[in-house]
Amino acid sequence: MHSPPHESAAKHVSGEAVYIDDIRADEQLLVGRVVYSPHAHAQIKSFDLSEAKKILGVHAVLCHKDIPGHNQMGPVVKDELCLAESELICVGQAMFVIAAETEDQCLEAERRIKVEYDLLEPILTIEKALERNSLLGPPRTMKRGDPDATIKSAPHVIKGELRTGAQEHWYLETQVCLCVPGEGKEINVYSSTQHPSETQTLIAELLGIGKNEVVVEVRRMGGAFGGKETQGNHTACWAALLCWHTKRPVKIRLFRDDDQKITGKRHRFLSHYEVGFDNEGRILAAKYQLNSDGGCATDLSFAIMERAMLHADNAYYAPNMEVVGRVCKTNLPSNTAFRGFGGPQGMAVAETVVDRIARHLKKDSAEIRRKNFYGLDSNNVTHYGEAVENNHLFIIYDQLVKSSDYWQRRNEINEFNAANEFYKKGLALTPVKFGISFTTTFLNQAGALVNVYKDGTILVNHGGTEMGQGLHTKMQQVAAAEFGVSLGRVKVNATNTSKIPNTSATAASAGTDLNGMAVKNAVDTLKSRIAETMSQVFTEKHPNPPTNKQDIAFQNDMIFDLMHPERKIAFADAMPLMQLRQVSLSATGYYKTPGIGWDKEKGWGRPFHYYAFGMCVSEVVVDVLTGRHTNLRTDILHDAGDSLNPLIDLGQVEGGYVQGVGWCTTEEIKWDDKGNLMTHSPDTYKIPSVQDIPKDFRVALLENVPNPNTIRRSKAVAEPPLMLALSTWLAMKDAVSAVANHEIEPEFSLPATNEVIVLSVEGLKKQMSGRDVEVLIKKE
Which of ligand MOS, ligand HPA, ligand MTE, none sits in contact with 471, Cβ below 5 to 8 A by type? Answer: ligand MTE
Which of ligand MTE, ligand HPA, ligand MOS, none sits in contact with 300, Cβ below 5 to 8 A by type? Answer: ligand HPA
Quick one: DSSP state of residue 370? H
Window 495 to 514, contacts with ligand MOS (CB under 6 A): 507-508
- Please name which of 183, 203, 510, 495 lies closest in space to residue 337, comparing C-alpha atoms: 510
Which of ligand MTE, ligand MOS, ligand HPA, none sits in contact with 439, Cβ below 5 to 8 A by type? Answer: ligand HPA
Task: Enumerate residues 6+ apart whose C-beta is below 8 A from 486.
Answer: 480, 557
Are 658 and 666 in contact, with CB atoms under 8 Å apart?
no
Contact residue for ligand HPA among 84, 393, 508, 587 (CB under 6 A):
508
- Please name which of 504, 206, 217 lies closest in space to residue 337, comparing C-alpha atoms: 504
Residue 267 in the binding site for ligand HPA (CB under 6 A): no
Which of ligand MTE, ligand HPA, ligand MOS, none sits in contact with 307, Cβ below 5 to 8 A by type? Answer: ligand HPA
Residue 224 in the binding site for ligand MTE (CB under 6 A): yes
Work out how close the CB of 236 gets to ligand MOS at its nearest, in angstroms, rounded to a whole number: 17
Work out how close the CB of 504 gets to ligand HPA at its nearest, in angstroms, rounded to a whole number: 8
Residue 650 in the binding site for ligand MTE (CB under 6 A): no
Q: How far apart are CA 22 and CA 584, in angstroms?
A: 36
Window 331 to 360, contacts with ligand HPA (CB under 6 A): 337, 341
Question: Is 719 one of the annotated active-site residues of the chain?
Answer: yes
Residue 302 in the binding site for ligand MOS (CB under 6 A): no
For the chain, what is the radius of gyration of the CA atoms? Answer: 28
Residue 140 in the binding site for ligand HPA (CB under 6 A): no
DSSP SS3 for 681: coil
Residue 339 in the binding site for ligand MOS (CB under 6 A): yes
Encoded one letter per residue, x for contact with ligand MTE by CB under 6 A and - for no contact, window 655-684 reads x-----------------------------
Window 161 to 190, contacts with ligand MTE (CB under 6 A): none
| Residue with smaller CB distance to ligand MTE, 300 or 752 | 300
| Residue with smaller CB distance to ligand MOS, 181 or 720 | 720
Are 441 and 607 in contact, with CB atoms under 8 Å apart?
yes
Task: Enumerate residues 6+ apart whose C-beta is below 8 A from 50.
Answer: none
Residue 225 in the binding site for ligand HPA (CB under 6 A): no
Window 300 to 319, contacts with ligand HPA (CB under 6 A): 300, 303, 307
Amino acid at position 684, single letter: T
Backbone angles phi, psi at 413, to 5 degrees: -65, -40
Which of ligand MOS, ligand HPA, ligand MTE, none sits in contact with 468, Cβ below 5 to 8 A by type? Answer: ligand MTE
Query: Taking the CB of residue 554, how many other CB atoms lie within 10 A of it?
Result: 21
Residue 384 in the binding site for ligand HPA (CB under 6 A): no
Are 275 and 311 in contact, with CB atoms under 8 Å apart?
no
Quick one: DSSP state of residue 609? S
Return the range that interacts with ligand MOS (CB under 6 A); candidates 11-19, 185-193, 337-345, 413-421: 337-345
Cα 82 to Cα 27, 94, 132, 514, 523: the distances in Å are 28, 7, 27, 31, 41
| Strands (DSSP E) found in 541-626 | 552-555, 558-561, 568-570, 586-592, 597-599, 604-606, 610-623
| Residue with smaller CB distance to ligand MTE, 202 or 300 | 300
| Residue with smaller CB distance to ligand MOS, 669 or 756 | 669
Contact residue for ligand MTE among 192, 469, 504, 634 (CB under 6 A):
469
Catalytic residue selected from 719, 745, 755, 780: 719
The length of the chain, given as a count of residues:
780
Return the range that interacts with ligand MOS (CB under 6 A); candidates 74-82, 153-161, 288-296, 331-339: 331-339
Are 66 and 98 in contact, with CB atoms under 8 Å apart?
no
DSSP SS3 for 56: coil
- Please name which of 289, 171, 119, 266 lies closest in space to residue 687, comparing C-alpha atoms: 171
Q: How far apart are CA 747 and CA 585, in angstroms?
A: 64
Using CB under 6 A, list all residues that contact ligand MOS: 194, 226, 229, 337-339, 341, 507-508, 719
Using CB under 6 A, list all residues that contact ligand MTE: 223-226, 339, 464, 467-469, 471, 506-512, 652, 655, 718-719
List the catalytic residues: 719
